[in-house]
Structure formats: structure tokens, C-alpha cells
Chain A
Amino acid sequence: MAAYIVKRLLWLIPVLLVVSVITFILMHNTPGGPWDRNLEARQVDKNTQALLNEYYGLNKPLWRQYVAYVIGDWDKEGKFVWGLVAGNMGPSYRQRGRTVQDILFDPPKGKNSWESRWGYSARLGLFSLGIAIFVGIPIGIFAALGQNTWRDYLGLFIATGGISVPSFVMGIILIIVFGSWLGWINIVTKEWDKIGVWIVPALVLGFNTTAYTARLTRSSMLEVMRQDYVRTARAKGLAERVVIFIHMLKNAMIPVVTILGPALAGLVTGSFIIETMFGFPGLGRAYITAISQRDYSMILGTTIFYAILVALANLSVDLVYALIDPRIKLHD
């Protein structure tokens, strides 16, 4: 097991190299650069641009810039500055004086560490996952216990609809109905320290996962219901409540547990559009902004961070499967 994990983690290195090379080439091919301003705004002076390029090493050949980013380079005083390998994601070209890791992981002064960009995205993801668990699982149980009755059909309808309707479409509909028509929620809020304003973005983000959890719980419950040990439990006169929650639910939760890890990674990484839609101060929105501003190091750093998250989530799925089902052998 340990050898397998080490092997998988080592495999992460070539994957990240390829991901970073592709991103690097693509973004440097993009027309425009970090010093361009809006067409209406005052442009950065040509000489200043040249100086900035010189300062950030943007006038060096591309391969040299890449190596400098990943491994490191000598600065003006001849001191070697380590790059990505030492966790340094480079200076942001737009937010002067801050490094990318500052922007992503450091909270504003005097705030808790969960007030950082990444902290916001992670909390939104966890919140959505909570909704998926505490709404999805009860819906699944509710549907399974009334198989082929209106309860089942209602549950299945919600679940199927929830899986198929893309979350951002759902977000649009919710914003229009509750924001524009009913006026219940404030769409353009900046007060993210109030828990109330988190509910709608979290609901929208966790919408698909909630539906998927409900569907998985239902089918898993239906399978467990027919098992002999459930019949035995009933036959020896246990209360229905005990049979459902102790005997059935415990076993029915196994497949549900396995999807929660990757679901969390999906929720944390998949929130670009939801964050953009609600103006949420998280990682996804920072990324979209960085792309439109051609903030190269910010784009590269965030992409690599996301790639690591996705890879770790994939690894966790395989591990959880192996832990739960000993018949699955882990190799390659």
C-alpha cells in the first residue's frame, strides 16, 4: 500500500511537468501581455514596459523563463531564487509586491487563514458537500423506503433533474427567481462574512452532487434491503427504525462514502463559474481574472495547484475503494 502511494505520488511529477509546459506555452502564445490595459485606460509607457520585462525576466527566451519558474534563477544580486520546486509560485504581475502563493493562501492582514482566496473556495466546497450529505442522503432514503410509490418517483424526479441540469443553469434560474422576481436574495453582495449569503452559492454549487448522492443512496438502499441479514433483523423482531438506521443504512453508505472525496475535489475546483456568477472572492474568480489580465505566474501557479488537487482526489478514490473492498488489488 505504502509503495503504491509513493509510486502514484512520484507519477504526479511528470504529469505536473506536462500540465505546466502546456499551460506555459499556451499562455505565452496568447495575444497581449500583463502590462496591457483596457483600451480606454491610459496605457503603460513603452519604456516602462521594457523595464518591467527586464525586471521580471520576461525578455529572456521562453525556455529560460520556464526553467526559472519551475526550478529557479539568479536575481540581480546574483542570489539564487528557488522556483516552484520550493513552493514559490512567482511574483504576480498585476498585484505588485505580492507573490502568487500570497494571493492564493494568505489572508488579508489581521484575518484568519480561512479568509484567503483558497480558504473561501475550500469553505464553499465544504459547505456544498455538507448540503449534499444532509439533503441528498435523506432524499435517497426517503425514496428507497417507498419504492414504486409517489415518494420514490418524487425522489427520482428530483435526483434525475438535479443530475442533468447543469449547476450554472440552475444558478441562473435561482438568481432570476429569488433575486430579481422575489427579491429574497441580494445578488451583488460583498458581505461574505454573513453566513446567510453563502447559502445560495453553496446550494447551486452542490446541486449536482446532492442529486447524485440522493440517487446513489436510493439504489444502494434498494440493494441492501433485499439482503438476508435485513430479513433476519426484521424476523427477530427489531424495530423498523433500528433495522433501517443500524442494519441497512450502515452498509448502504459504503458506495456513497467513496464518491464524497472526489466530489469534494470537484466542488472545490469546479466553482469557477459559480464564483464568477456570484462575485465570490475565491480561487476560481481569481483565476478567471488572472487569465483576462494575462497575469502569467498567477495562471500557471493556480493551474498547477488545481492539477495537484485533481490528482490527489483521483488517488484518494482508488485508495478508498481498496480500503472498503479488499478484493480490489492496487497495482498500476
Chain B
Amino acid sequence: MTTNNQPASAKGVTLGLASNAPSHSLGYDAWQRLIRNKASVTGMIIIALFALVAIFAPVLAPHNPIEIISGQKYLPPVWVEDYNGKAGQKENLLGTDTLGRDVLSRLIYGARVSMVVGLVPTSIIVIVGVIVGMIAGYTGGRVDNLLMRLTDVVYAFPDLLFFIIVMVSLRDTFLGQLLNGALLLFAALAIVSWVGVARLIRGQVLSLKEKEFVEAARCIGAKDLHIMFKHILPNSLGPLIVSIAFLIPGAIITEAILGYLGLGLRPSSNPNDVFITSWGSLLLDGQGAINAQPYLLLAPAICVALVVLAFTFLGDGLRDALDPRMRGTQ
């Protein structure tokens, strides 16, 4: 969105007419619109908080997330006294789980997985999607046809079915063991979701490649690669950024669903692991104890909802900011 196809000298310097208007790049304008939007600022703050929690989990967690405090199972949160007369304790703000592990610490470590699940597959998706979409849209013809048929096939595969089958069948292979299965999850997410980005970019390229500025670039002898990545890509960044803002929560939800079905990351008992537990796994633990201690289920559920809500707020704000004409239409 930042490309300005006018020569720099035409802006405010030589033309008296334009000199009164402040010359801002489109990116700057969009940023201004974004930070005036209260909902998206709230979203950004929540996301930043969760990101910090994820990074500094070892410092912030009050307990070791896998340490079992003997005799302290099923403790309710500190503000609750349940019908058995068990009261929450100050040491375990959100209580303890079925084995006697501190819930708050586990939630804090779980944020790591969600943040990484949001970011890593999304980066792969964007890189693959942009390259495929670019090539398909720009080259056209047979290559385009082939690539788009490929996306059709991926598109037809019911997402969740694919995730479930992949996670079940490859869990015990070498790939499934790496990083407690996180790598496999990333791969599965990426394989399914690049299609949407590829289609989006292809559509953008198709409409942009007939525009005058591309023609002009071609006239002065610009190479294809140069045109693709210096002229067309920057002009399709807006929709791409918005779609990224919705891909991330999608990945987080998928992890939670798979974890809830018992197909997410494997539980870890090694304190040196980066991914000790995830919100999805916590949901599964909580489901088993739904009658005994509903807070075990409620706490990760609220965390997932909060993060996803934050990303939606940000995504909506980004859409309004990057394309003011679309405001309120979706």
C-alpha cells in the first residue's frame, strides 16, 4: 500500500496546489486510521500482552507448570469456595488441576503454543500463497490453470477432517515427535490454508497487471520479477494484511479444537521443553473434570475466546484502515 506512483517532485514541491496538503504515505494514513479505532487498539494491546506472557512465561509463571503439588488436587480459584468446603489458596490463583498442577502457570505456558501456532504456519501460508498466486496470476495460461486446479482440490478437502486424519496418522512418526508434535500441526495447517492466500493474490494480480503503472514499468524495460514484487505485490498488501489478521485466529482455534479432541500436542513432562502444554490440551484436561472443577475448562476457554476476539477486532480495524471504502460493509 505504500507505493506512490507519482514522481516525488510532483508532491507539494513544484505544484502550488498540492503544497497545503500534508504529504503522507498511504501506510501512514492507514496507521493513523487504525490507532483512532478503539476496538482495534484494544485488540492490539491484548495481543501484545499475550505475546509478552508467551515470551516471558518462565519468569511470569508462579509455579513450575508440571510440578505436582501433592494433596492439592482440584483446588478452585482463589475467590471460590466450592460445595465441598474446599477454598482457593493464594499460592494457586486459578486453582490446581486434576493432578495438582498450578492452572495459572499452565495457562501461561499454553499461551506460547497459541502464539506460535498463530505465527509460524501463517508465515509459511503467506510465503507459499503469495508465490503461487503471483505466478498463477502473472503467467496466466496453462500454469494458471494447473495451479488453480490444485487449489480446487485442496479447497474441496474438508479442513477439519484433514487435520484430524493427518494428526492421527502421523502422530507417531518422526515428524510427529518433533517439538511434541508442534511441527506436524504447523505443516497440516499450512497445507490447508495457503489456498485462500493464493486465490486472493491471484485475483489481485489479475486486476493489477492491466493497470497503467504496470504497463509503464514494462515500457521502461522492467523485468517480470521486478514488476511482480516491486509494483504488484505492494499494491495487493492491503487485502493480504487483512487476510493474515484472520488466518492467525483461525490457526489458534484449530489448535484448540484438535487439542480438545485429544489430537493436539502431546503432553510434556520435561521442564526444558518449549511447548509444555497448550490451551487445547488444557481444554481436554478440563473436559474430564467438568463436574468436579468447571474452572479447569472455563479458564482456557476464556483465553482462547479473548485472543481470537482481539485478532478479530484488529482485523476489522485493519480492513477499515487499509480500504476506507469498505468501511462497515462486511
Chain A residues with CB below 8 A from B161, complex form: 287, 303, 306
Chain A residues with CB below 8 A from B162, complex form: 22
On chain A, which size bracket covers the interface? 35 or more
Is the CB of B6 closer than 8 A to any CB of chain A? no
CA of A147 to CA of B168 in the docked complex: distance in angstroms? Answer: 49
- In the complex, the answer to whether A169 meets B170 with C-beta atoms within 8 Å is no
Is the CB of A316 closer than 8 A to any CB of chain B? no
- In the complex, the answer to whether A166 meets B304 with C-beta atoms within 8 Å is yes
A-B residue pairs in contact (CB < 8 Å), sample of 21: A11-B152, A12-B156, A22-B162, A27-B168, A160-B39, A160-B316, A164-B312, A165-B305, A165-B309, A166-B256, A166-B304, A169-B301, A173-B298, A175-B290, A176-B294, A180-B294, A215-B330, A269-B158, A287-B161, A303-B165, A306-B161
Is the CB of B117 closer than 8 A to any CB of chain A? no
Is the CB of A38 closer than 8 A to any CB of chain B? no
- In the complex, the answer to whether A288 meets B297 with C-beta atoms within 8 Å is no
Interface residues of A in 171-197 (CB under 8 A from B): 172-173, 175-176, 180-181, 187
Interface mask (B293-304 → A, CB under 8 Å = 1, otherwise 0): 010011001101
User: Which one, B173, B257, B287, B328, contacts A222 given CB within 8 A?
Assistant: B328
In the complex, identify which listed stretch (A87-95, A99-107, A307-315) lies at the interface while the others stay far away: A307-315
- B250 to A, closest residue via Cβ: A166
Q: How many residues on chain B are close to A (CB under 8 Å)?
A: 45
User: Which one, B164, B257, B290, contacts A291 given CB within 8 A?
Assistant: B164
In the complex, identify which listed stretch (A134-142, A270-278, A322-330) lies at the interface while the others stay far away: A270-278
Interface mask (B10-49 → A, CB under 8 Å = 1, otherwise 0): 0000000000000000000000000000010000000000
Chain A residues with CB below 8 A from B168, complex form: 27, 30, 291-292
- In the complex, the answer to whether B165 meets A23 with C-beta atoms within 8 Å is yes
Known A23-B165, A169-B256, A276-B261; contact A18-B153, beta-carbon cutoff 8 A = yes
Most chain B beta-carbon neighbours within 10 Å: one of A31, A223, A287: A31
Most chain A beta-carbon neighbours within 10 Å: one of B168, B297, B329: B168
Known A163-B312, A164-B309; contact A30-B169, beta-carbon cutoff 8 A = yes
- In the complex, the answer to whether A168 meets B257 with C-beta atoms within 8 Å is yes
Is the CB of B76 closer than 8 A to any CB of chain A? no
- In the complex, the answer to whether B290 meets A303 with C-beta atoms within 8 Å is no
- In the complex, the answer to whether B164 meets A15 with C-beta atoms within 8 Å is no
Q: How far is the CB of A120 from chain B (nearest CB, A)?
A: 18
Interface mask (A12-45 → B, CB under 8 Å = 1, otherwise 0): 1011101100110011011100000000000000
- In the complex, the answer to whether B261 meets A288 with C-beta atoms within 8 Å is yes
Q: List residues of chain B with CB under 8 Å of any chain A CB.
A: 39, 149, 152-153, 155-158, 160-162, 164-166, 168-170, 172-173, 249, 253, 256-257, 260-261, 283, 287, 290-291, 294, 297-298, 301-302, 304-305, 308-309, 311-313, 316, 328-330
Known A15-B156, A306-B158; contact A29-B261, beta-carbon cutoff 8 A = no
Is the CB of A299 closer than 8 A to any CB of chain B? yes
- In the complex, the answer to whether B156 meets A168 with C-beta atoms within 8 Å is no
CA of A269 to CA of B39 in the docked complex: distance in angstroms? Answer: 32
Chain B residues with CB below 8 A from A27, complex form: 165, 168-169
Chain B residues with CB below 8 A from A172, complex form: 283, 287, 297-298, 301
- A30 to B, closest residue via Cβ: B169
Is the CB of A161 closer than 8 A to any CB of chain B? yes
CA of A165 to CA of B309 in the docked complex: distance in angstroms? Answer: 6
User: Which one, A16, A180, A269, A299, contacts B165 given CB within 8 A?
Assistant: A299
Is the CB of A65 closer than 8 A to any CB of chain B? no
Q: How far is the CB of A19 from chain B (nearest CB, A)?
A: 5
Is the CB of A219 closer than 8 A to any CB of chain B? yes
- A179 to B, closest residue via Cβ: B290
Interface residues of A in 253-287 (CB under 8 A from B): 269-270, 272-273, 276, 287
- B249 to A, closest residue via Cβ: A164
Chain B residues with CB below 8 A from A11, complex form: 152
Chain B residues with CB below 8 A from A18, complex form: 153
Chain A residues with CB below 8 A from B261, complex form: 272-273, 276, 288
- In the complex, the answer to whether B328 meets A168 with C-beta atoms within 8 Å is no
- In the complex, the answer to whether A219 meets B330 with C-beta atoms within 8 Å is yes
CA of A287 to CA of B311 in the docked complex: distance in angstroms? Answer: 31
CA of A291 to CA of B263 in the docked complex: distance in angstroms? Answer: 11
- In the complex, the answer to whether A164 meets B165 with C-beta atoms within 8 Å is no
CA of A172 to CA of B156 in the docked complex: distance in angstroms? Answer: 29
- In the complex, the answer to whether B330 meets A273 with C-beta atoms within 8 Å is no
Known A26-B166, A172-B298; contact A273-B152, beta-carbon cutoff 8 A = no
Chain B residues with CB below 8 A from A26, complex form: 165-166, 169-170
Q: How far is the CB of A249 from chain B (nearest CB, A)?
A: 18
- In the complex, the answer to whether A29 meets B170 with C-beta atoms within 8 Å is yes
Chain A residues with CB below 8 A from B153, complex form: 14-15, 18-19
Interchain residue pairs A-B with the least CB separation, the first 3:
A164-B312, A30-B169, A26-B169
CA of A198 to CA of B326 in the docked complex: distance in angstroms? Answer: 38
Q: How far is the CB of A279 from chain B (nearest CB, A)?
A: 12
Chain B residues with CB below 8 A from A166, complex form: 253, 256-257, 304-305, 308
Known A11-B152, A27-B165, A222-B328; contact A272-B256, beta-carbon cutoff 8 A = no
CA of A311 to CA of B158 in the docked complex: distance in angstroms? Answer: 9
- A222 to B, closest residue via Cβ: B328
User: Which one, A163, A273, A311, A314, contacts B257 given CB within 8 A?
Assistant: A273
- In the complex, the answer to whether B297 meets A176 with C-beta atoms within 8 Å is yes
- In the complex, the answer to whether B156 meets A307 with C-beta atoms within 8 Å is yes
User: Which one, B156, B170, B298, contacts A311 given CB within 8 A?
Assistant: B156
- A171 to B, closest residue via Cβ: B301
